[in-house]
Amino acid sequence: MNYKVIALLVVCIAVVAATGCMGLSGSSTTAQDSTNSVRYQSDAKMGYAGSPAAMPVPTQALSQSGSGTSIIDTKIIKTASLTLEVKDITGAVETLKSIAAQKGGYLSSTNVQKGYNNRLTGSVVIRIPQAEFENALIGVRAIGTVKSISTQGQDVTEEYVDLQAQITSYQNQLAQYNAIMKQSTKIEDIIKVQEQIDRVQTQLNRLEGRLKYLNSRIDLSTITVSLQEPEPVGGKSGHNFVTTINEGIAGFFGMIDAIIIIFLALLPLIILGGIGYGIYRWRKNKAAVVPAELTEKK
């Protein structure tokens, strides 16, 4: 009887002990899971393998970085040169002026003069917005017979970007020198800073002037047109009796001019020759007089 009670107590104690161990094991597992969860969250904040450098970069940051890059369009200076044969030089000049105005440009320069055999020749320079360059060139070619044509495209993108960078650098320097000037109190310091400001301002003005010139050449293309009248039928010139007489008179006076030039060029030799000949005659006459005197004495 006593043995049965003792055995029952031992079984109860064993069951309680087993239940306690299971509770401790479950508690340990829960604690471990909790620790792992905290560690996982910490790793997620620090990045893979706990390294902050390994954190993935946000896509938005890359986009902002990419959008900060300045993209410069290609800068091209377009020019063209044409030689046209037209019947009316004056009318062709007016037509070119009208083409330039219609395309949003202007007539830069014009020169009309008489050439050989009284044939008129002309030279016209027009400035056209680059977007209308090809259309304007078609219109220019249509006013006469094209004898020659050439087009050029000069890429000045590298120079343009370099000028912008230099201008920005000098502007920053100028701002710094102006800030220093406001803080300067000594006369010698003010003079030195002012010298640097003048130097930077001079360079800045030069660069800005060059950039302005490039913008003008880029925005407005240049078309240079040489105009000439057609040759007369039967050759460059027909027979003209008056022209022949004029050429003969011109040749006559030309010959007289040549004789005068030759005479003046040889005048020193003529003078020396005359002096030598005079001395020769004088000595010859003297030699002839002496024998005559001796004969008379005898």
Model pLDDT, residue 215: 94
pTM: 0.53
Asked whether 222 and 181 are in contact (CB, 8 A), the reply is no
Indicate whether 60 pLDDT > 70.
Answer: no
Position 68 pLDDT exceeds 60:
no
Domain residue ranges of the chain, discontinuous segments joined by +: 1-53, 70-231
Q: What is the average per-residue pLDDT within 154-180?
A: 94
**The tokens 């002037």 sit on which residue?**
209
Has residue 175 got a pLDDT over 90?
A: yes
pLDDT value of residue 57: 33
pLDDT at 283: 82
Higher-confidence residue of 106 and 25: namely 106
Rounded mean pLDDT of 83-106? 92
The predicted structure's pLDDT at residue 276: 87
pLDDT given for residue 225 in this prediction: 95
Q: What is the pLDDT of residue 281?
A: 82
**What residue type is 221 in one-letter code?**
S
Measured CA to CA, the distance from residue 90 to residue 143 in angstroms comes to 12
Looking at every residue in the chain, the average pLDDT score rounds to 76
Which two tokens mark 259? 């004789």
pLDDT tens profile 119-150: 888 999 999 999 999 999 999 999 999 999 99
Residue 153, pLDDT > 90, answer: yes
Q: pLDDT (tens digit, 9 = 90+) per residue, 221-266? A: 999 999 998 876 555 555 566 677 878 888 888 889 899 999 888 8
pLDDT band at 59 (very low <50, low <70, confident <90, very high): very low
Q: pLDDT at position 284, please?
A: 79
Q: What is the pLDDT of residue 235?
A: 52
pLDDT value at 19 more than 80: no
Region 191-212: what's the mean pLDDT? 94
